[in-house]
Amino acid sequence: MVDVAAIWSIEYLLLALAGGAFGAAIGGLPAFIFTGFMVIAGEAANLAGKAAAGSDAAAIMITDAIAFGPVFGPHISFAAGAAASAYAARRGYMDTDFDYHQAKNINYAFGTKPDVLAVGALFGAAGYVMVELMVAFAMPFDQVAMGVVLSAVLHRVAFGYDVVGTPSSGWLDMKPFEQEELQSPDAVAADGGVIGQRYAVEPWLPQQYKWLNVAVLGVVVGILGAYVGYVSESPYLAFGISAASLIFLSIGHENFPVTHHIALPSSTAVFALAGSASVATVSLSGVVAVGAIFGLISALFGEVFQRVFYAHGDTHLDPPAAAIVFGTFLISVCTALGILPGSGWVPAL
């Protein structure tokens, strides 16, 4: 039964409004980086509690209530920051040297601009309600990540952007970017969110879109993410490390990879492999195998998603969030089919 009282809690709605406004104020990417640091803090508290044979209440408070709650929950603060950029670009507030459509600039902080913060607040509340509904119905995937995806679809619709966009050639074709093809001047002039002429195709990460490169990164990070989950007995620590590492991308290390969408499904897969037993019972070869498999699959799905929904669109529709949804849903499916003995923290089908 759906707990309507929890969904429509005035206090939590107000917290979500504040979290969304804060996400808009500091920017979507900086807000998500804080999510990563809070996850690390929470899981470190969990490890310390286990070492001292004490309570893990502090870890639950930091990870669940702060990192994934109304303060830095990605469905609230990050999604609100992305929506704020979409709105501000439409209003002509952004004039930066960002290479793509201004609405994709999720590193931009809007400070104290009241109408942008109000948009952030509304999308923070929307993200909270969407995720609480999915939790209430025990949807078999990462509900927070799905909240990020749905919020981006919502902001595209709300502010008049195409949900998918129009490819200049094939949906998966990145060659126009490699050849530095630009959109026609007429198309650019009609779009208030663009400063100067824009690329015909805008891959999510110029340093991370070639199939082989993405596949190799997926296997490497998948193995490491699974191992971190295994030794720490935390399915979230690898995700937190990957998310926090984006501070380097935020400050301008252009070739820095994005990996949290690989780390989370791969570390979760280890817990699914353990089933109801302790993760310590899983063999190291099993850790490496499931990490490589789920890392590869999640990385490649994220690439497919960005080529369809990001590269030809005008706003940030988050490929990592979509990859996490797919990777965690795949774990749930594998559990239902008997391929894996459990689904970890992911609700079972």
In tens, the pLDDT along 259-303 reads: 999 999 999 999 999 999 999 999 999 999 999 999 999 999 999
Residue 99 domain boundaries: 8-337
Single-letter amino acid code for the residue at 21 = A
Domain presence at residue 348: no
Domain presence at residue 346: no
Domain presence at residue 256: yes
> Which tokens is 79 given?
């999604």
CB-count exposure of residue 257 (10 Å: 0-12, 13-18, 19+): buried
Inter-residue contact 78 to 153 (CB < 8 Å): no
> Which tokens is 9 given?
């809690």
Share of the chain above pLDDT 70, in %: 91
- Identify the bridge partners of residue 199 per DSSP, sorted by sequence position: 182
Residue 183: pLDDT above 90? no
Least confident range from 14-28, 117-131, 188-202: namely: 188-202
Domain presence at residue 343: no
Model pTM score: 0.94
C-alpha closest to that of 263 among 203, 323, 347, 343: 323
Q: Is the dihedral of CA 102, 105, 109, 110 positive or negative?
A: positive
Single-letter amino acid code for the residue at 120 = G
Report d(CA 7, CA 25) in Å as an integer.
25
Domain presence at residue 2: no
Q: Is the dihedral of CA 63, 345, 256, 74 positive or negative?
A: negative
Domain presence at residue 127: yes
As for how many domains the chain has, the answer is: 1
Inter-residue contact 150 to 132 (CB < 8 Å): no
pLDDT of residue 291: 98
Domain presence at residue 344: no
pLDDT of residue 337: 97
Inter-residue contact 74 to 36 (CB < 8 Å): no
Single-letter amino acid code for the residue at 129 = V
Single-letter amino acid code for the residue at 42 = G
Share of the chain above pLDDT 90, in %: 80
Question: What is the rounded (10 degree) CA torsion for 320, 208, 98, 145?
Answer: 0
In tens, the pLDDT along 86-109 reads: 999 999 999 888 989 999 999 999
Domain presence at residue 13: yes
Report d(CA 220, CA 48) in Å as an integer.
28
